């Protein structure tokens, strides 16, 4: 059985072409990922603005402060006036910016119905649960809470945004790039 060198060379050329094409696709993916990461704060800001009606629809009234009885039950609770959705949780800061003597026991990233990011910091002195609402930029959200906050916002948009399928499909593609390639 005679094997022609031409056939082998053509086969090797085809393999090299496929390898080059795959490398080009990977490079394009890296370039797209870099563009997305370079503009992640802009994306998060736009997502927040788009989510305003969603937050009004599904948002929660969040506890501002309340007293706790000996059984651990809250009474005389006060709530923030606007609705919010929780996008993430992080390890608590050692103290609150408004009062350094107050230890933070829980800390969450939230989005308000006005499309603004905050972190809510809860303190407890044994009787009173109190909170501080600290404003955040989109950059701070990503730096402190990671891309999980972006993913949670995407999930809210996907589940509750009606008649915006093209936007949801585009966000799904972008979020896929952000999460798959860390």
Residues 38-75 pLDDT 10s = 788 888 998 899 899 999 988 999 999 999 888 878 88
Within this chain, do residues 73 and 4 fall inside the same structural domain, yes or no? no
Better pLDDT: 12 or 148: 148
> Which residues touch 97 (CB under 8 Å, ≥6 apart)?
121, 132, 134
Model confidence at 13, pLDDT cuts 50, 70, 90, reads confident
Nearest partner of 135 among 153, 110, 158, 113, judged by Cα: 110
Burial of 152 (0-12, 13-18, 19+ CB in 10 A): middle
The C-alpha atoms of residue 169 and residue 71 are separated, in whole angstroms, by 48
Within this chain, do residues 78 and 32 fall inside the same structural domain, yes or no? no
C-alpha gyration radius of the chain = 24
Res 83: pLDDT: 96
Better pLDDT: 13 or 156: 156
Is the pTM value of this prediction over 0.95?
Answer: no
Domain interval for residue 176: 40-180
User: In the predicted model, what is the mean pLDDT of residues 128-142?
Assistant: 95
Within this chain, do residues 31 and 48 fall inside the same structural domain, yes or no? no
Within this chain, do residues 71 and 132 fall inside the same structural domain, yes or no? yes
Mean pLDDT of the chain: 84
Token pair for 173: 């593609």
Within this chain, do residues 136 and 103 fall inside the same structural domain, yes or no? yes
Within this chain, do residues 29 and 44 fall inside the same structural domain, yes or no? no
Res 3: pLDDT: 55
Within this chain, do residues 49 and 20 fall inside the same structural domain, yes or no? no
Within this chain, do residues 58 and 13 fall inside the same structural domain, yes or no? no
The C-alpha atoms of residue 60 and residue 127 are separated, in whole angstroms, by 24
Dump pLDDT digits (tens) for 76-94: 999 999 999 999 999 999 9
Within this chain, do residues 28 and 110 fall inside the same structural domain, yes or no? no
> Which residues touch 81 (CB under 8 Å, ≥6 apart)?
none
Is the per-residue pLDDT at 100 higher than 70? yes
The C-alpha atoms of residue 62 and residue 33 are separated, in whole angstroms, by 35
Res 28: pLDDT: 62
Within this chain, do residues 54 and 31 fall inside the same structural domain, yes or no? no
Within this chain, do residues 27 and 45 fall inside the same structural domain, yes or no? no
Token pair for 172: 């799904």
Is the per-residue pLDDT at 110 higher than 80? yes
Res 141: pLDDT: 96
Within this chain, do residues 62 and 77 fall inside the same structural domain, yes or no? yes
Q: How many domains does the chain have?
A: 2
């Amino acid at each position: 059985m005679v094997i022609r060198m031409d056939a082998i060379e053509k086969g090797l050329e085809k393999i090299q072409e496929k390898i080059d094409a795959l490398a080009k696709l990977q490079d394009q993916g890296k370039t797209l990922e870099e563009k997305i990461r370079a503009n992640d704060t802009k994306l998060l800001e736009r997502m927040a603005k788009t989510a305003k009606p969603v937050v009004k629809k599904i948002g929660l009234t969040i506890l501002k402060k309340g007293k706790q009885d000996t059984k651990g039950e809250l009474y005389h609770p006060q709530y923030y006036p606007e609705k919010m959705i929780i996008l993430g949780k992080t390890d608590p800061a050692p103290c609150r910016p408004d009062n350094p003597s107050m230890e933070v026991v829980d800390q969450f990233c939230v989005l308000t119905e006005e499309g603004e990011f905050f972190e809510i910091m809860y303190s407890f002195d044994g009787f009173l649960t109190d909170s501080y609402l600290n404003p955040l930029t989109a950059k701070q959200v990503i730096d402190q809470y990671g891309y999980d906050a972006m993913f949670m916002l995407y999930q809210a948009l996907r589940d509750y945004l009606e008649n915006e399928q093209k936007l949801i499909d585009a966000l799904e593609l972008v979020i896929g790039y952000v999460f798959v390639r860390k």
